[in-house]
Amino acid sequence: MAVGILSAGKMIKKEILQDSLFIGELSLKGDVRRVPGAISIALLAKTKKMKKIFVSRENITEVILVDGIEVYPVDNLIDLILHLNEVKLISPFPHKDFISLIKEEKYDNLFEDIKGQETAKRALEIAASGFHNVILKGPPGTGKTLLSRAFPSILPPMEKEEILEVTKIYSVAGLLHNQNFIASRPFRCPHHTTSRIGLVGGGSNPTPGEISLAHRGVLFLDEIPEFPRTTLESLRQPLEDGFITISRASGTLIFPSRFLLLAASNPCPCGYLGHEKKPCHCLPGTILKYRKRLSGPLLDRIDLHIDVPSVSEEKLTSNILSESSQKVRDRVVKAREIQKKRFKGLKIFNNGEMSSAQIKKFCQLTPEAINILKQAISKLSLSARSYFKTIKISQTIADLNGKSKIEASFVAEALQFRSHDE
């Protein structure tokens, strides 16, 4: 607005403003301050064939990631006027390729530090490979939270498009701070007291919620039954569509929210239902009420249901080393490369994102695998959603094994991770 006024007052030449964009908040002293969402604006400017961007120096680290456009840092309005009138020129910042700036990630929790729980680790490997939603169920102290905290250590690195998507969200939310970009897959773990708006986004001035901040990463809900049911039900649309729609009187906003849901739950309020040594003191009605906090439609959107039992004394005291996160991650990366080629040119990255039409197009089953699926439909009363979910998981297992077709053993393994309520 200030530049427009200066141009109208003939303090700067109109022709010099062609193909230029000016981004920033102007203080009363004339300083140009940081604004949220600068990288999103810069990317839009690039699509509009803009050649120059003048932006607050505080936003410069994120905007220089956009190639094909000159970026000029501006400290105050006087400097901008002097530059536009060619009195004292501002030097453009060189473009930076953010891929070269990515540093090797260090993790506090690793798979090799966790004793036992091979079945749970295998399920998490499948989840990481195909971007499948997962819930860990078991009594306290069995390692559900530790497994979840170690989960990021086996996730593959983000693609360039994913990094840009996530960085734009954090920029809009004002959470980039001094970071150039978000290179690591987000791992968000909101407390169960988080409000619905805090989880899905919104407010009088709508901002992204936890599900959008977890875009292309993980949303970890520890003790998921402790979350209010109305809050959990708001996850159904984004889990299905990969975005959340926020409607207000001023208009409608759509925030991306393609996240992997990782949840942990006790089997009952006291946590010891089915425990080998500790008795459960919950009444049947209390257990039923506890389980009903998670609705059928929400559970139906979770692909892998994993029991996490207590670890035996032998395994806890064993000196046998567990498989490292790096080895698991290497397999995950190879499986993701297969999916990258499979979905080239499409707007999806992983098996977990496939629609029913895409499943029919890309997933080839052997006759034996088809036979097992038919038996499962008959004996286990699989719903249509569960049927397609099983095929998606089976395809991920096939990718992990480097097989072009889904074999019977892959379907059998996928079926063992179905919900016990099915």
| CA dihedral for 406, 407, 411, 416, sign (positive or negative) | negative
pLDDT at 376 over 70: yes
Distance between CA atoms of residues 129 and 327, nearest Å:
13
Please give the distance of CA 371 from its chain centroid, rounded to a whole number. 35
Contact 417, 304 (CB under 8 A): yes
pLDDT of 422 over the 70 cut: no
The Cα-based distances of 10 to 26, 78, 88, 121, 158 in angstroms read 20, 15, 18, 68, 48
C-alpha pair distances (Å), 188 with each of 141, 180, 419? 22, 20, 24
Q: With CA atoms as reference, report the closest residue to 202 among 249, 164, 259, 242.
A: 249
User: Domains along the chain?
Assistant: 2-96 (3.30.230.10), 112-317 (3.40.50.300), 354-415 (1.10.8.60)
Non-local (6+) Cβ contacts of 194 within 8 A are 210, 227, 231
Element (H or E) spanning 53, and its range?
strand 52-56
- Report which residue type is found at 3: V
Does residue 414 surpass a pLDDT of 90?
Answer: yes
Tell me if 419 sits within 8 A of 380, measured CB to CB: no
Q: What is the pTM of this model?
A: 0.87
Report the DSSP pairing between strands 25-26 and 32-33: antiparallel
| Rounded (10°) CA dihedral 183, 44, 337, 385 | 100
CA separation, residue 314 to residues 115, 120, 319 (Å): 10, 18, 10
* Tens digit of each residue's pLDDT (9 = 90 or more) over 216-270: 999 999 999 999 999 999 999 999 999 999 887 777 889 999 999 999 999 999 9
pLDDT at 421: 57
- The pLDDT score that the predictor gives to residue 200 is 94
The CA-atom distances, in angstroms, between 261 and each of 180, 264, 330, 380 are 27, 10, 22, 25
**Angle between the 408-415 and 367-379 helix axes, to the nearest 10 degrees?**
30
pLDDT for position 4 = 75
* Cα–Cα distance list, 343 to 364, 390, 391 (Å): 15, 19, 16
| Res 230: pLDDT | 93
15 pLDDT tier (thresholds 50, 70, 90) = confident
- Other Cβ atoms closer than 10 A to 387: 14
| Per-chain mean pLDDT for the chain | 90
**pLDDT recorded at residue 177:** 75
The two structure tokens encoding residue 330: 């290497």
| Token duo for residue 324 | 């490292």
Query: What Å distances lie between residue 401 and 124, 129, 185, 360, 409, CA to CA?
Result: 15, 11, 24, 20, 11
Q: What is the pLDDT of residues 94-119, one digit of tens each?
A: 887 766 667 778 899 999 998 888 99
What distance in Å separates the CA atoms of residue 173 and residue 122, rounded to the nearest whole number?
Answer: 35
Q: Are 124 and 252 in contact (CB under 8 A)?
A: no
DSSP state of 365: B
Q: Which residues contact 358 (CB under 8 A, 6 or more apart)?
A: 346, 348
Rounded to an integer, what is the distance from CA 52 to the centroid of its chain?
A: 32
Helix-strand-coil percent breakdown of the chain, rounded to 5?
A: 45, 15, 40
Does the pLDDT at position 7 exceed 80? no
Q: Let me know: does 322 contact 115? Beta carbons within 8 Å.
A: yes
Distances, alpha carbon 298 to alpha carbons 173, 240, 261, in Å: 27, 10, 11
